[in-house]
Structures are given as structure tokens and as C-alpha cells.
Chain A
């Protein structure tokens, strides 16, 4: 239970306005969320190169495809796989079984390789290579299938209008760079000019309460880059009544001299995950983080030590609720005949099936709902056992 509106309307009363009897004058009390597990979905915009992030160094064809980019790496498990060196901060999590990867997966999107279409299809969760008129996001449809969901249950974080959480089910949105610096007098006057309008009154009261909460936790000034603030804010909500959070990280479209931008993007991802872990504290053990991207990149390096838009890729995952320390895959191989269209890592499984099994494991959702309302035309297949 959380009390968001701790302030009364004494200021308004003192200045001569009547505080009419209204449910909103009493503190806003939130019911608890429908479950205890937490799900964080990170959208990696720009198409993360799965073959660079989690490298199949044991595949006989890998070295020839990646002469410049494939050097080095952090061997994990039996040595078939190596993590990109920039993921070193996450190696302890991997070794503790709190981080892992799913490889050679993708959405049903094929061939066009457009970021925008690919991201729309990823977030809409639609079942074909076309968005097919789906206008809401799969996380929103999932929320719509669960009784007792309130706006605080799910947070879309950041400035963008995340399609993945858009739709009829109630969702909260906040951008940590939304500022609200008000003098005490300005606050009182705002209460007055919103007082007669319940909708505006509730929204501005909650906004002020969120900003006050961040200030009390010393987060208002915000250290680090934008991604750290997004993660800190997500953690602060997930420690409370929020169960689902989503935000995006960019910088993955590495066509040219990939080594530097890839290391930066993976560095930000590592900081994001570690910030979430620290901020979530005891709740980490109930948390699953899925890192999804619109598609993979070409198997071969291009002429400028980068990679171009491809098909199959990797989904990184982390969190105390998941069984990590491994790469889950039905590996297609990298020989010429196994590449998709002779150029891309093939996708051997719909990435939506993994997301669906995680939601089934965390929230106990019905398989029929996941294969219909949430992910149209998905066949979940066998349980990959990601959830502990």
C-alpha cells in the first residue's frame, strides 16, 4: 500500500477555495498488484548484433565471417560461447546463473529489414512479417488479460511513446527528465487552479508526489547517463507496487567500425542491468529482465568493419527469477547453406515464444491467452525453462 497524496488541500482552503468533498481529497490508496514477480523489457533499438554480443567462437565458420570483430571475448561455459569484452561487468552475474542469452531467435519479421517496421512488429507482437493492423503492444494486451491491473502495475519509462505498453489497459508513463521544480507558493496556486477539475487534480498531485519521492531518494539530480536514470527510476517503481517496466536503449545500429559503438552500447546495457540489480535490492530475486531487439545483423562483417541489417539474433536476459549462466539455442550453424538468404544468422525460434514462456512462468498466464490475445498466431512449443 502506498500513499501518494500526502498533502491535504489546506493551502487551497487557506487561500479561499472550497475543498469540495471528493474521493481525490483523501489519499490515493493503491491496491497491491496481481503478482509479486517483476518483468522488465528493454528494447534495444537499432538491431543489436547478437553474433558480436554473444559470440559462437566454437562454430567452425565463425572466425572466417568475423575476421576483425571476432577477436577476444570472455569464454563462458564449455567454451563454445564467448561474451563480448564490454559485457565483463556482467560476467559475475553470468557465473552466478543470473544472466544468460537465447540465441538464433527473431520476431516473425523477415526480409525488409527496416528498423521502424521491425520495432513496430517487435513491440506489437504481431504474428507475421507485417504489422497486420495490430495497434497496441503485447505487454498492454497481457495486462488486459489479467484482473486487478491498475495504472501503477506497469510503467512505460522515458520520453517515447512505447508501443509495447500502448493500448486500452491502464499504464503509467514517466520520463525521469520530466521536471517539476515549483516554489511552495506555485504549488499552492497550482492546487487552486486544478482543484475544480478532478482529472487534472489527480494527475498533478501524482506528478508532484513522484517528483517528491525521487527527491527524497536523492535521485532528482540523477548521476550518470540517461540510461542510468531510466534504470534507477524503473527500480524505484518496481520496489513498490509496479510489476512491469519497459524502456529502450539505442545505439545498436553498427554499420561502420562496429567495435567502438558496440562496446559503448554494451557498456550502457551493463550499467543499466547493474543499476537495476542494485536498485531492486531484495526484489531482484523475483525479477526477470528481457533485452529484445528488432532483428539481428549480417553474419559477415561488411567492408567497413561493421555489420548490416540481418535476421536472427540474440535475446540477453538477466534477473534472479531466471535460470541463466547458459546460452539457450537450437543452433543453426553458420555455414553458407545454413545462413538465412545466404547472409544472416537463421532464426530457429520465434523470440515471442521465449517471452511467452517467461510470462507464463512469472505470472501463471494461460497458454491460450499467450498464443492468442497476447501474441497472435504464436505456437509456444516446448518450455525452454528460463524461469526458475
Chain B
């Protein structure tokens, strides 16, 4: 099938909308992706270091409060702790508004979708209830700059990022033969090593438990400076000697250099190319993707040494990616973001929501749809299969949002018949056109368009 602007916006972007000009060609999509990241500049996220300072202040205050000598001192620290906790939550919600606004208004929808895809590939979660504000800056700094760059660079940025080191327990892993390991009970934690192989690079199959353990030993010493929220290497925690991972020897001197070397090698493995090619095709095109599409992505990944711009270009240029039938179901965030886009809700409206409305209109509904904000439940990230999202509860939540929330976000709802064209373009399903014109009330007309199977798919 040939290129089509509506399919380009819906399948590879964050949807159509009255304020959005859909891409004119696959080449134009790639040109824009290769250019500057205008969306991130217009809608910035706070730096990780700034989020960390707030997080650290809270933790230190909470600790001082627990150790307070007197009731009066304790009460004063409690007031301060509560103030900091509110500030952490306010920062998290401000980031959430910004991230949803980006999905809703970005000119370059493809970049937003790639950021969502790679952030899910390298999924992290908060480690303590107040830690949610660290996730968006991690995505912003370790993932977003690399979506049109090289996979090896993204892998290194992610693996060495303090958020990932904390999330997958690397920050407290100690080599059993290291100076610290020999005189304490602290030991090896294999979490990061396991996920690095299984989820982030080669996928299940080519490695053994021995490879996991060796890689975990190789990673020892890599930890986080809690004071600054920065990556650190502590030689006293590092397992001495060389380690062998997938047949390659690293070391024997511990340090960041052998860790960078193993990451480069893992990024270049053919199994990594195959794993990522399939994952991209499954995410963007079909739960059962065309074999030729996967092969083309894999071949380009290998021939270009993991150049993600080149791989993305193959994805949007391949005929199998342009089938008319929409085989994928939007995730709840993609659904809500594309609905806001179709309704023409601007970033100014979204950024000005107060914290209560951010929860009521956006984050709570996403949770009932099955996508609690930044909490996929495991490092595996959100599921891909349509069946995981299209359950009675989750669909009820999508319908309920479509019927009730647009009128709380927009003073004047669009005519549903216009919304069909804005949201679905010239190929809108006939039954959706019919239903849009048959509703008794404006809000229900808008609701049935957004709740339609045609709009829920991409």
C-alpha cells in the first residue's frame, strides 16, 4: 500500500487534529525527525539534577524527623516534610501535564511516538511512593536525545543513568570478592544484568545464567552518588578480575571502560538487531507483523550499526506498514493524547490544569483504562497485545472518558460530524460518520466518535 497522510499521522504519529498538518511523505517524516526537537524546546521538562535535589531534600527531612530529639523539633520537621512532599507531587503532575501536552500538540508526532516506544523499552518505575518525579527527566535525558541517533548511545545513556541504576538495584550491588564485599554481608544483585540481556538487548535465548552472573560481576562498582544523584564508580565495590559475557572477556581492571565495552558489544549483537526489529514492527504495525518488514528492519539495524534514524526510515517506507486496516489498539495514553489532539485542545489549556483536575481528567482515567501513570508494573513495560487493553473494565473507562471529559476540557465542543473528519480523516469508517450525526446530544456525539473502534485503533 502507498503512503497516506492520515495513516502516517494515526499509525506513526499521535493522530490527526484540526491544528495539525499531517505529514506529506515518508521522506518528510524522516527529515523532520532528523532536525531539531522543537517540541521539547517549546514544552520543557525539569532537569534530572533539579528533580533529584527536591527528592533528596525530602528524604533527608523525613530521616531527620524520625530521629528528632524532641516532640517540638519533630513537629517542625513534619511540617517541612509535608511541604516537600507536596512539592514533589506538584513537580510530578507538572511533568505529566507537559508530557500529555506534547502528545496532544507536537508537530512531529513520530518523534513523540518513538520516545514513548523507547521509554517503554527501557521502562523504569518509581522505587518509593514520592519518587515519581525522577522518571520524566530520565526519559528526557537518557532516551529522547537518541531516538534519531544510535541505539548503542541510547543503551549507554540508559544503563549508566542513576534512575536505571536505582530502579534495577545496580546501585547497591557489591562484588562478593571486592574489598567491601569481603568484609560485609553485601553482595551481588543480578537485576540490571538480567534485564540488560533479556529485555534491553539480545532477548531471551542466547545467554545462560552464567552470562547473567558474569555480567552482574562486571557491572559491580557502578552505582549512584546519592548526594548528587549522579552515576558513580566505586572501585572498592567492584569484583576483581576479568568476566566473560557471551564468549567475550572484559577486564581484568574494573572500571567504566569495560562496562562501556560490553554495552557496545551487546548493542552490536545480531540477536539485538532481531529483537528490536521485531519489537518495533509489533509496536507500530501489527501484533503479528509482516516477516519481510521485520527482516528489512533487522538488516538495516545490522548494516548501519544500529542507526535508529535509518531503521525508522525503513519502517515508514515499507509497504507493509501502510496497510489500510488498523491492526493495533492505541494505549490509553495514546488514546487520550490523540483525543485531545483531535478535539484541538491546546497545550496552554492542558498546562493550566490544576493538580486536582490533572488527576481527575487525565491521570485517574488513565489508571482505570489500565495504564497507571509511569507504573507499568515491571521492567517489561506496557503490553503490546490488543487483548491486554481491550477488556471490559478498560473499554468502559475509555467510553466513560470519551463521553464525559471533553466537555470539561473545552468550552465549545466541536460538531461531532466535523470531529469525525478531524480525528479520522477521509477514511473514517462509515458507521462512525453515521453515529456522529445520529447522537441526541453534542457530548454523546463527541463520545461515540472518540469511543469508536475506528478511533481506538491505529
Contact = CB atoms under 8 A, between A and B. Distances in A.
B429 interface: yes
B175 interface: no
Nearest to B189: A130
Nearest to A136: B378
B447 interface: yes
B391 interface: yes
Given A116-B128, A178-B400, A185-B439, A200 B393 contact: no
B448 A190 contact: yes
B452 A179 contact: no
A207 B393 contact: yes
Contact of A204 (B129, B194, B396, B439): B396
B14 to A, nearest CB: 21
A204 B368 contact: no
Interface string A163-174: 100100000111
A190 B432 CA distance: 9
B434 A15 contact: yes
Nearest to A112: B172
Given A135-B378, A203-B392, A114 B435 contact: no
A244 to B, nearest CB: 16
A115 B451 CA distance: 37
A131 B378 CA distance: 10
Interface in B13-38: none
- Interface size of A as a range: 35 or more
A130 B378 CA distance: 13
Interface stretch (B112-120, B150-158, B369-377): B369-377
Given A114-B128, A175-B368, A196-B429, A163 B377 contact: yes
Contacts of A159: 364, 367-368, 372
A383 interface: no
Contacts, number: 138
A199 B390 contact: yes
Given A130-B189, A130-B191, A204-B399, A193 B391 contact: no
Contact of B395 (A163, A185, A203): A203
A259 B448 CA distance: 50
A201 B453 CA distance: 8
B227 interface: no
B198 A133 contact: yes
B359 interface: no
Interface in A193-235: 193-197, 199-201, 203-204, 206-208, 210-211
B431 interface: yes
A265 interface: no
A165 B98 CA distance: 33
Interface in B352-384: 364, 367-368, 370, 372, 375, 377-378, 380
A118 to B, nearest CB: 12
A183 B440 contact: yes
A189 B438 contact: yes
A210 B399 CA distance: 14
A58 B372 CA distance: 45
B400 A161 contact: no
B394 interface: yes
B407 to A, nearest CB: 14
A18 B157 CA distance: 54
A192 B364 CA distance: 28
A193 B395 contact: no
Contact of B452 (A115, A183, A194): A194
B397 interface: yes
Interface in B402-431: 403, 429, 431
A180 interface: yes
B239 interface: no
Contact of B368 (A16, A166, A177, A203): A177
B387 interface: yes
A160 interface: yes
A186 interface: yes
A236 to B, nearest CB: 14
A182 B356 CA distance: 25
Interface string A8-19: 000000011100
B236 to A, nearest CB: 21
Nearest to A197: B453
Contact of A210 (B169, B392, B448, B452): B392
Interface in A10-39: 15-17
B386 interface: yes
B259 to A, nearest CB: 21
A207 B391 CA distance: 8
Contact of A189 (B194, B395, B435, B454): B435
B432 A193 contact: yes
B45 to A, nearest CB: 24
Contacts of A174: 392-393
Given A114-B128, A161-B370, A186 B448 contact: yes
Nearest to A124: B378
Residue among A15, A116, A186, A304 with max Cβ neighbours from chain B (10 Å) = A186
A186 B447 contact: yes
B113 to A, nearest CB: 22
Interface of A: 15-17, 114-116, 130-131, 133, 135, 159-161, 163, 166, 172-175, 177-183, 185-186, 189-190, 192-197, 199-201, 203-204, 206-208, 210-211, 255, 304
27 contacts: A130-B191, A133-B194, A160-B372, A161-B372, A163-B378, A166-B377, A172-B391, A173-B392, A174-B392, A174-B393, A180-B399, A182-B399, A186-B444, A190-B448, A192-B434, A193-B435, A193-B453, A193-B454, A197-B453, A199-B329, A199-B390, A200-B456, A201-B453, A203-B394, A203-B395, A206-B392, A207-B393
Pick the 4 closest A-B CB pairs, nearest first. Answer: A197-B453, A193-B452, A207-B396, A207-B392
Given A183-B444, A190-B448, 15 more contacts: A159-B364, A161-B375, A173-B391, A173-B392, A182-B399, A186-B439, A189-B438, A189-B439, A192-B448, A193-B453, A196-B431, A196-B453, A197-B457, A200-B453, A207-B393
